[in-house]
A and B are shown apart, each in its own frame.
Chain A
């Protein structure tokens, strides 16, 4: 046989040489000295064992192989662990003089303290290194902790409700424009679900928006407080226990009862327990206070305005639109949200067929059921994932930088290590100084990081994350601290691993060798520091490029043409009472479908509001509409079907679906500066007597009348009318499109919306019939002010107080503020990424400077010799700068590749530019290269100032 022993082994052992090789590999789990002593025996025993199982079946042999390899790894690691923890196994270590364990622990502690003292002294001798280390690590730890703190409080922390995994929210999913959206529910849907859905223990409802209510205290002026109306089982479903009194219970939907938030109880009632049972006058109606909610109770539907008063609301079972309610349901034990969703789907299918037959275009499904936590925190989830990514990158950068500094330190200490080796110190004795220095540096960095991240988290809470769900909870908490500690630990482990790797390669004689090599710059360390620089540059380039993309997208978004003028307009919302604007209709027979008649007072109110508000020098113009632009989910919707469409269902372009709608005074759109593209504006002649007309947005005109013949065309609408015998009938009215306006941003800033605008006079004709809801008419007053909004707002409030005593003016905001609200989230992410981009850039540049500086200091002699031999400054510069350029270039190439491939992650966050936006990537790369050269400049200058004579004497 020609080949030597390996193939003989292969002949002898059926599993083949690969198994022996694998076994040999798994033996590497043992410490090196153990292997040196016993590897041959272990292999021998393995071969013996293999021989024993040779005849066995495949299953036995496989089990044997797994057991052998797994056991070797496990035992090897156990051996290492045992040494680390000082438990050396069955036999106590032979240590003369100390037979008992306590003494050995004492000795160990003493030794450790001695090492720490030594380390502290040696760190004090190189303050530059220590400071750089603490700053770099402190910054990256602070960055990581801040990110984690934000992520934790916004997305990870529990909501704090009882058994909250079983709490779900049900949505009615429908097609809006070209996308499917989740809608709130209507009275009828909720009633049907309560009756027929078996998946839930209970279903509660809560109105989609709170209102401002006027609270009339017995003494003092009326106060405005925010109020939210919920079902009587709302707090039971959530499992909220009252701090005082009781929460709502059965029958409370029929009573005028009110619960106080803990905050309201403290601020407005001085935490007096006597308030329970007393009466509060809310918008003119007496309500009995029955209880106080617990302190930590937080409802996330209205993160901006904490609700102070909670009252009940009884559903109208026969109303299937509009959709005024969010739901909170408790799943029956053992049921999942997925199972519940398919049950709700079937029920919604029925409701859809019965009540919205005109909606032919179906969304992908009709029901969405997801856990409450997902629902509240889910929208931010994609962004949170990106933050987690940034967190990992920042952590990586910190660890990389720290390892690099430690490595440089290790080389600097080569002589001391060599002495320790020469005096017989083993691996641990060489590692000890590094470990103890690392411990001290970590502790100092942790203190710096704690201070910085506390500051940063407060800043994020107060400025950065305003309007983000639960942003007010952001702060330093035990979970956040634990995260920060874990990050510090991870950094330490990575850094130690890198240093250990380096020491192993240099260990003992190799360290001396490396020192001898220092004339030429040393080959060994370079193989380690080059990849560190490359990885660092690439990672930070990814962050910088991400920040650049988000920044450009943000600029796009904040300069987007909303379709309306925002400057100098302030508006406020009025939620009118039923009386005196809508009156009951005694002749309407069907109690299951209650209707109200519109009384002339509504038109009179609108007209006098306009006149009185306009009659002030601070007010330039005034107009009314039902909703403001950008109202999104809180705006109005109408089913839409153009007249031309008669064919089979589902073939209409875009399909028949819910369209955003607004009812407006004729001057509303010109007031906002909308652009009339075709036809005419609405006029005051388009009143209740005139034929029904509407303006539509360009986006709607394009999708419904692609041939451009929208003006003059008609679409179908239904109006409730009181027929003979007091029956409510839906009559079909055909609405003529009289004009097309440039699309306004109605839902979000991202895309133009398909919208219908109808005259308020025709939407609420005097004497007309409206179906009853718990609410009266809603109106929004828009005022253009000259210079100062406050005068105009004060006047507006005065007029409202005069005309509508007891009705508060809600949600007073300028249009600029409304647009600003839609920019909050993008701004937050831009800020976060920007900050981390800058941090990453700083860290990477620090790293580059350190590496180049290190290279220069190691080449002092070489440079000195070259200078003595008459080398130019320029060629020396090239010597140093070339390395920078090369390493940075490699890192940039890698970073660009990662950014390009990973660009998809930013989808949905980036608007107006592609996620692989080349100009941004190229600009980031160029910026990086420039900064890297600048960073290399400092050490290079130092190299040029080297005095040949002194440098040759240096060693």
Chain B
């Protein structure tokens, strides 16, 4: 998974909306169900990003349709401990590549900005 992956399949998804990137980052850290994604993002960003379930699932639908994430057939946690209704999601290979490309794109952006000394 080279960081300079700019294949057509990847660049079609760029740039990513910040929310989409957050969701991909969250799933890159492990398979999760909806509310767990919200909690993880909230904790990681120290409460600066609080997603409403509505917007979360709007993005999940699109990321799913775009093939960046997928719904899991198996459950990572034993059935008994968990509610029947929960659906778990994981990041796909394409999702990882898009995420990496987006992070790199943003990194480039930051370094260009530093070059003209508007950020430090």
Contacts and interface: CB of A to CB of B under 8 A. Distances in A.
Contacts of B16: 90
A71 B34 CA distance: 16
A76 B57 CA distance: 10
Main secondary structure of the interface of B (DSSP, over half): helix
B54 A42 contact: yes
A13 to B, nearest CB: 14
> By CB atoms of chain A within 10 A, which of B53, B86, B87 has the most?
B53
B12 to A, nearest CB: 6
Contacts of A90: 13, 16-17, 19-20, 59, 62-63, 66
A42 B62 contact: no
A92 B60 CA distance: 14
A68 B52 contact: yes
Nearest to B67: A94
A91 B63 CA distance: 7
Contact of B53 (A49, A79, A89, A93): A49
Interface string B2-26: 0000001000110011011000000
A94 B94 CA distance: 14
B52 A72 contact: yes
Contacts of B112: none
A9 to B, nearest CB: 13
Contacts of B33: 41, 44
A30 B65 contact: no
Contacts of A72: 52-54
B55 interface: yes
B27 interface: no
Given A45-B56, A72-B52, A75-B52, A34 B35 contact: no
B57 A41 contact: yes
A520 interface: no
Given A67-B52, A71-B54, A41 B85 contact: yes
> By CB atoms of chain B within 10 A, which of A27, A67, A79 has the most?
A79
A74 interface: yes
A493 interface: no
A88 interface: yes
Nearest to A92: B12
Nearest to B68: A91
- Interface size, A (range): 20 to 34
A34 B65 CA distance: 13
A78 B12 CA distance: 23
B13 A30 contact: no
> By CB atoms of chain A within 10 A, which of B60, B62, B86 has the most?
B62
B85 A78 contact: no
Contacts of B59: 89-90
Interface string A65-108: 00110011011101100000000111111100001000000000
A36 to B, nearest CB: 11
Nearest to A99: B12
A34 B61 contact: yes
Contacts of A75: 52, 54-55, 58
A79 B58 contact: yes
A25 to B, nearest CB: 14
Contacts of A92: 12-13, 66
Contacts of B46: none
Contacts of B91: none
B58 A45 contact: no
Nearest to A78: B58
Given A48-B35, A91-B68, A42 B8 contact: no
B34 A91 contact: no
Nearest to A89: B62
Interface in B49-88: 52-63, 65-68, 83, 85-87
A403 B57 CA distance: 36
B38 interface: yes
Contacts of A93: 65
Nearest to A91: B66
A46 B12 contact: no
A175 to B, nearest CB: 64
Contact of A46 (B20, B53, B62, B66): B53
A38 interface: yes
Nearest to A29: B54
Given A92-B13, A94-B65, A99-B12, A41 B34 contact: yes
A59 interface: no
B61 A38 contact: yes
A67 B53 CA distance: 11
A42 B55 CA distance: 10
Interface in A750-807: none
A45 B13 contact: no
Nearest to B60: A38
B65 to A, nearest CB: 6
Contacts of B87: 41
> By CB atoms of chain A within 10 A, which of B38, B57, B63, B85 has the most?
B57
Contacts of B38: 45, 49
Contact of B62 (A27, A44, A48, A88): A88
B92 to A, nearest CB: 12
A913 interface: no
A49 B56 CA distance: 14
Contacts of A91: 13, 20, 62-63, 65-66, 68
A21 interface: no
Contacts of A49: 35, 38, 53
Nearest to B58: A79
Contacts of A927: none
B101 to A, nearest CB: 14
Given A38-B57, A71-B54, A44 B85 contact: yes
Nearest to A40: B85
Nearest to B66: A91
A46 B52 CA distance: 9
> By CB atoms of chain B within 10 A, which of A27, A42, A67, A68 has the most?
A42
Contacts of A690: none
A37 interface: yes
A89 B52 contact: no
Given A34-B61, A40-B85, A90-B20, A71 B35 contact: no
A85 B118 CA distance: 36
A573 B25 CA distance: 91
Nearest to A79: B58
A76 B85 contact: no
A10 to B, nearest CB: 18
B13 A71 contact: no
A663 B13 CA distance: 92
Nearest to B15: A90
B53 A94 contact: no
A226 B65 CA distance: 78
Interface in B27-49: 33-35, 38
Contacts of A74: 54
A8 to B, nearest CB: 13
Interface string A933-951: 0000000000000000000
Contacts of B8: 99
> By CB atoms of chain A within 10 A, which of B8, B13, B55, B60 has the most?
B55
Contacts of A46: 53
A67 B55 CA distance: 13
Given A44-B35, A45-B38, A90-B20, 11 more contacts: A41-B85, A44-B33, A44-B83, A45-B35, A71-B53, A72-B52, A89-B58, A89-B62, A91-B63, A92-B12, A99-B8
Interface of B: 8, 12-13, 16-17, 19-20, 33-35, 38, 52-63, 65-68, 83, 85-87
Interface of A: 27, 30, 34, 37-38, 40-42, 44-46, 48-49, 67-68, 71-72, 74-76, 78-79, 88-94, 99
22 contacts: A34-B57, A37-B61, A38-B60, A41-B33, A41-B53, A41-B57, A44-B34, A44-B83, A45-B34, A45-B57, A48-B35, A49-B35, A49-B38, A49-B53, A72-B53, A74-B54, A88-B62, A90-B13, A90-B17, A90-B59, A91-B20, A92-B66
Nearest 7 interchain pairs by C-beta: A75-B54, A91-B66, A71-B52, A45-B53, A48-B35, A90-B20, A45-B35
